[in-house]
Each structure stands twice: as C-alpha cells, then as structure tokens.
Amino acid sequence: MDPELLTLMEPLMAAAAELEPPAIGDVATRRERATPFFEALGAMRGSISGVEMSRHTVTAADGTELDLAWYFPTSEPSGAAVLYLHGGGMIYSLAETRPGYDAVLRSYVAATGTPMLMVDYRVAPEHPDPTPVEDCYAALRWLAEHAAELDADPARLAVAGDSAGGGLAAGVSLLARDRGGPALTAQLLIYPMLDDHTTTPDPGLAPELLTWNYDDNITGWGALLGDRAGGDDVSIYAAPARAQDLAGLPPTYIDVGDLDIFRDEDIAYAARLSAAGVPTELHVHPGCPHAFEALAPTAAVSTRVVADRIRRLRAI
C-alpha cells in the first residue's frame, strides 16, 4: 500500500480487523456497519459552502416515486449537469450512505460549478436487477427533461458514479445509447463495479488490504442477480463488462487503484472502450485500495485523483 495511505488508514484497518467478517450473503450486517461508516466519511469532510440542494421526485418505470436531490452552486452554474450515482455494492441505499455522498456531491459542485443530481435508486436484494439501473435511467431522463428549468444545457449532460454507482453509470450509458437517448457528453466511472465474474481471489492482493473484498462482491452480485450471477443470463445493463459492442458510448474517464479487486475488469473495460473508438482516459493508482480517496482524503494520491475528476467534470 502507498505508505502515506497506510499511515492514514491504519486506525480504520485496525478497527475493521477487530470485527468478525460477515458471512457471504449477510446483507443486514453489512448495512448495519455501513451506516456509521458513511456518517464518519461525511463528518471527515466538514461543512462545504457555496452549494445548495433542492428535492424533487421522479416516477420509475413501475410507477414508484423516487427521491431526487439536486445540488447546485450559489454562484453562476457552468451550464452542464451530471447525474451522480452513489456506490454501495448494489446493497446500500442512501439510507446507509447519504451523509457521505451528500458531502461528496457538495465537494464536486463547489469545485466545478457544475450541478449534480443524486437519485435514491432502489437496491438489492429487495429490488433485484433490473430495478436499480432502470431507476437510474429514469433519473437521467428526468434530468434531460428538466434541464432548461434547472439552468442546464440538455446538450451538456453526463453520468458519473463510483463503485456500484460506477457500474450503474456504465449501465445507464449503455441504456441511453441503445434507447436513443438522452445524449451524454461523458461518463465518469470511478473504480466501477462492472463484472459479476469477479469472485475468485487474486493471490496478489493481500486480503487485509481489501476495503471491498471478494465475499462482499459475491454478496452484492448475488443480491442483484440471484442464481443468475456468473451464468449466461445476465444483462449487459446490469454487468456492463458483458457488453460485446461498446461503440457509440460517450467519452469516458476511469480511475482505479491497483489494490482494488475491480482493477482488472476496469482496465479491460477501458481497453475495450478505446478499441471501439471511444475516447478513454484511464488512471491506475499504485498502492491504492478501493475508495482510498474517501478513506484518506488528505493523502497526496487522493488529492491527485480528485483533481483529475474535477478537471474532467469542468470539461463537460
């Protein structure tokens, strides 16, 4: 691990080592432990000025009303707009993660002047595939339809997300391409969860350094896909790594650490995007585990990766 990250993350790693690991499939324990964790991540960032938030709703494909949060700068907005999809392994909703992601979105909006929409999409196992990605696509359609009244240009829309949210962002981009819109100018995929086949431990990755491990991943994909996980009957919109044709997707940014179990699937996806003619920027950060910049925001490598994301967001 990056030495500075290791120093900053040692207290967290020591606390995690004291806990009995939850069994594969134990969503309840993972959710229980996630709630104080995301509260701590939000508190770590402190208050962020210059950003306001308004609440809205969107009707999902099955008629369910979903909550939306629109984060916008108090200064003149950039004119672009981003749908940001939160992470959580397909099993954590905003009920567990909101304090952390409220701070994340406020930070990005304050730094870029670009407003962001966050949707409280439904999660597995209560709401398995295709509900999560369809909820996210409904939010994108809502953003495109309301862009003018939100002071955003409908021709300057992007989708972004991290971890499971990065996988959902990739799925939404595929849906938007295959359903004829809304048009996207970019997708920002932050250590995205793309491939339900990532279940066999890599002997080169020390288990104690994995902040999202293989048991967690099997649990998340199993909750989303049930018995279909790892089989032949899985939609490309649920697991975008399965898509054979990546042509026509928007310019893409991907970053991942090399101590992340998603490393290989993210590198492969970036290479296939580039081969399909999609302008693709890929960063692989040595010595960095999953969600490193959230766990150690003051580290030099965290500052660099966030600066790269801000640069791409400003370019939308």
Report d(CA 163, CA 309) in Å as an integer: 15
Structure tokens belonging to residue 5: 């990250």
Q: How far apart are the first and last CA of the chain?
A: 33
Which pLDDT does position 16 carry in this prediction? Answer: 87
Angle, CA 156 vertex, CA 153 and CA 158 arms, to 5°: 130
| pLDDT by residue, tens only, the chain of 316 residues | 999 999 999 998 998 889 999 999 999 999 999 999 999 999 988 889 999 999 999 999 999 999 999 999 999 999 999 999 999 999 999 999 999 999 999 999 999 999 999 999 999 999 999 999 999 999 999 999 999 999 999 999 999 999 999 999 999 999 999 999 999 999 999 999 999 999 999 999 999 899 999 999 999 999 999 999 999 999 999 999 999 999 999 999 999 999 999 999 999 999 999 999 999 999 999 999 999 999 999 999 999 999 999 999 999 9
Beta carbons within 10 angstroms of residue 129's beta carbon = 23
Which pLDDT does position 258 carry in this prediction? Answer: 97
Task: Tell whether the torsion through CA atoms of 140, 146, 151 and 156 is positive or negative.
Answer: positive
Q: Does domain 3-314 have CATH number 3.40.50.10490?
A: no
- Among all chains, which residue has been given the structure tokens 């709401």? 127
Which pLDDT does position 46 carry in this prediction? Answer: 83
Report d(CA 133, CA 130) in Å as an integer: 6
Helix H or strand E segment including 172: helix 164-178
Q: Determine if the pTM surpasses 0.85.
A: yes
Count how many residues are written for the chain.
Answer: 316
Query: Which residue among 47, 78, 93, 163 is the active-site one?
Result: 163
Domain spans in the chain, listed from the N-terminal domain onward: 3-314
Report d(CA 310, CA 304) in Å as an integer: 10
Which pLDDT does position 112 carry in this prediction? Answer: 97
Which pLDDT does position 81 carry in this prediction? Answer: 98
For the question of residue 163 being annotated catalytic, the response is yes
Which pLDDT does position 128 carry in this prediction? Answer: 98
Instruction: Give the type of residue at 173.
Output: S
